[in-house]
């Protein structure tokens, strides 16, 4: 009797420990996939739209397989290195179209999902396709978060004629601050989140926004976590051809690639560059280095792999002390034309079956006149 009780008790303790360890593996996750939508409509341009029918499919899939978190939860997680639920997803919209209110808002409310809309104050109420400030305020009261997409959606990397670098930065700073002030006056809060128009940024902008205390979001794909670039946070576009749920499933389940260093560090690439050396120092603790693969415009890159000694890095640069580092290097031998392009790199996780680390390195190339195409 006494023995069986002891056995039962120790069994219970074992089960408890096992449960706790499963709990810590399955719940303590820093990873989150942030989705980026624009229009939810059947009548708007395909490339930036998802139909209401498809959008419902996304929401239904999320409700079955994921936990939708707010961008406030994401901010807390990345600033405090706090765990998010496993399979966390956040929902964002850019540009403040009225069809968000008409077609997406009722559905998101029905599912009880928090979401964020990045708006351009100069556009709000400027045409029938845009939300009005009254609508923004009403949605805000219903729990929608509104954040900064600059005053009027200009290409931030474009400099005016004869503008010095410091004048350019000061002008962009004024723009971001003005947009934030107007949004704050209307909705009563200031999140200090910026979505870069067209997803375009460079190192100087990122530094300035970091000093200003902003989180900033791009349009390059990848999962986010506390160790990613907080002024170049990735989002997965989910409109147009990216709305296809089958290809989106892998992205929704993806993990933030632990990139320690990247070259080039700045995404601006000069026009007509014909060869660009890229290297990434990555913590490979949770994947086999030879499973790391990168693609540029559909081409698989020929990646060379070198172990990197931790002693070469300062302690604060490492994501954790158990880090195992490898340098992945390759060369993009294609001519860079004006516009946006990116390298996508993935590697399958060893501990989270069927899930991939995902990282995207964006490049922005200006025309000979210094402008950036839409
Ligand atoms: Zn936009």
The rounded Å distance from CA 198 to ligand 1 centre is 6
Report the half-sphere exposure of 344 (CA within 13 A, side-chain side).
18
| CA 96 / ligand 1 centre spacing (Å) | 9
Q: On the CB side of 184, how many CA atoms lie within 13 Å of its CA? A: 11
Distance from Cα 279 to the centre of ligand 1, integer Å: 30
CA 199 – ligand 1 centroid, Å: 8
Cα of 129 to ligand 1 centre, how many Å? 14
Position 322 scores a pLDDT of: 85
What is the rounded CA–CA span in Å between residue 242 and residue 329?
Answer: 28
pLDDT at 182: 98
- Low-confidence stretches of the chain (pLDDT < 70) are 1-28
pLDDT given at position 6: 47
**pLDDT value of position 186:** 98
pTM, two decimal places:
0.91
Q: What is the whole-number distance in angstroms between the Cα of residue 149 and the centre of ligand 1? A: 7
Between the CA of 48 and the centroid of ligand 1 the distance, in Å, is 10
Rounded Cα gap, residues 86 and 147, in angstroms: 26
Q: How far is the CA of 62 from the centre of ligand 1 (A)?
A: 24
CA distance 195 to 325: 31
Ligand 1 centre and the CA of 312: distance in Å?
A: 40
* Side-chain half-sphere CA neighbours of 318 within 13 A: 17
What confidence tens digit (pLDDT) does each residue in 268-299 have? Answer: 999 999 999 999 999 999 999 999 999 999 99
Strand partners, 331: 277
Tokens of 316: 């604060």
The DSSP line for 193-228 is EEEPGGG---HHHHHHHHHHT-EEE-SS-B-B-TTS
Supply the pLDDT for residue 316.
78
Task: State the distance from the centre of ligand 1 to the C-alpha of 126, rounded, in angstroms.
Answer: 15
CA of 72 to the centre of ligand 1 (A): 20
Separation of CA 314 and ligand 1 centre (Å): 37
* 200 C-alpha to ligand 1 centroid (Å): 10
User: What's the CA-to-centroid distance between 253 and ligand 1, angstroms?
Assistant: 25
Q: How far is the CA of 244 from the centre of ligand 1 (A)?
A: 21
Distance of alpha carbon 138 from alpha carbon 94, whole angstroms: 18
**Distance in Å, CA 222 to ligand 1 centroid:** 18
pLDDT at residue number 22: 38
Q: Cα(144) to centroid of ligand 1, in Å?
A: 18
Using the mean position of ligand 1's atoms as its centre, give its distance from the Cα of residue 152 in Å: 9
In sequence order, which residues have a C-beta less than 8 Å from that of residue 162 and are 6 or more positions away? none
Q: How far is the CA of 219 from the centre of ligand 1 (A)?
A: 10
Pick the closest to residue 258 from 22, 28, 25, 31 (CA basis). 31
**CA dihedral for 51, 56, 57, 62, sign (positive or negative):** positive
User: Could you tell me the distance, in angstroms and rounded to a whole number, from the CA of residue 120 to the centre of ligand 1?
Assistant: 8
What are the tens digits of pLDDT across the range 4-49? Answer: 454 454 444 444 444 443 333 334 699 999 999 999 999 999 999 9
């Amino acid at each position: 009797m006494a023995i069986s009780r002891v056995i039962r008790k120790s069994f219970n303790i074992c089960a408890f420990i096992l449960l706790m360890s499963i709990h810590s593996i399955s719940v303590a996750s820093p990873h989150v996939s942030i989705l980026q939508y624009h229009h939810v409509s059947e009548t708007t341009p395909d490339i930036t739209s998802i139909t209401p029918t498809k959008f419902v499919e996304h929401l239904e899939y999320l409700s079955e397989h994921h936990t939708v978190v707010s961008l406030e939860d994401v901010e807390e997680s990345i600033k405090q290195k706090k765990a998010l639920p496993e399979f966390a997803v956040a929902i964002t919209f850019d540009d403040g179209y009225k069809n968000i209110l008409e077609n997406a808002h009722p559905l998101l409310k029905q599912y009880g999902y928090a979401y964020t809309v990045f708006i351009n104050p100069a556009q709000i109420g400027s045409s029938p396709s845009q939300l009005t400030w009254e609508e923004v305020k009403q949605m805000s009261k219903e729990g929608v978060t509104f954040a900064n997409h600059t005053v009027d959606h200009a290409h931030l990397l474009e400099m005016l004629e004869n503008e010095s670098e410091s004048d350019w930065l000061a002008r962009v700073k004024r723009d971001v601050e003005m947009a934030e002030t107007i949004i704050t006056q209307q909705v009563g809060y200031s999140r200090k989140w910026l979505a870069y128009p067209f997803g375009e940024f460079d190192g100087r902008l990122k530094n300035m926004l970091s000093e200003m205390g902003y989180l900033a979001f791009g349009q390059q794909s990848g999962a986010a976590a506390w160790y990613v670039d907080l002024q170049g946070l990735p989002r997965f576009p989910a409109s147009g051809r990216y709305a296809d749920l089958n290809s989106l499933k892998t992205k929704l389940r993806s993990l933030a690639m632990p990139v320690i260093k990247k070259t080039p560090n700045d995404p601006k690439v000069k026009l007509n560059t014909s060869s660009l050396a890229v290297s990434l120092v990555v913590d490979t603790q949770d994947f086999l280095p030879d499973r790391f693969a990168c693609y540029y415009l559909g081409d698989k890159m020929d990646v060379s792999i070198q172990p990197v000694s931790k002693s070469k890095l300062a302690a604060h640069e490492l994501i954790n002390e158990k880090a195992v580092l490898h340098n992945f290097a390759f060369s993009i031998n294609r001519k860079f034309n004006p516009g946006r392009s990116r390298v996508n790199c993935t590697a399958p996780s060893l501990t989270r079956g069927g899930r991939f680390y995902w990282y995207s390195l964006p490049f922005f190339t200006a025309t000979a006149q210094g402008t950036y195409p839409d």
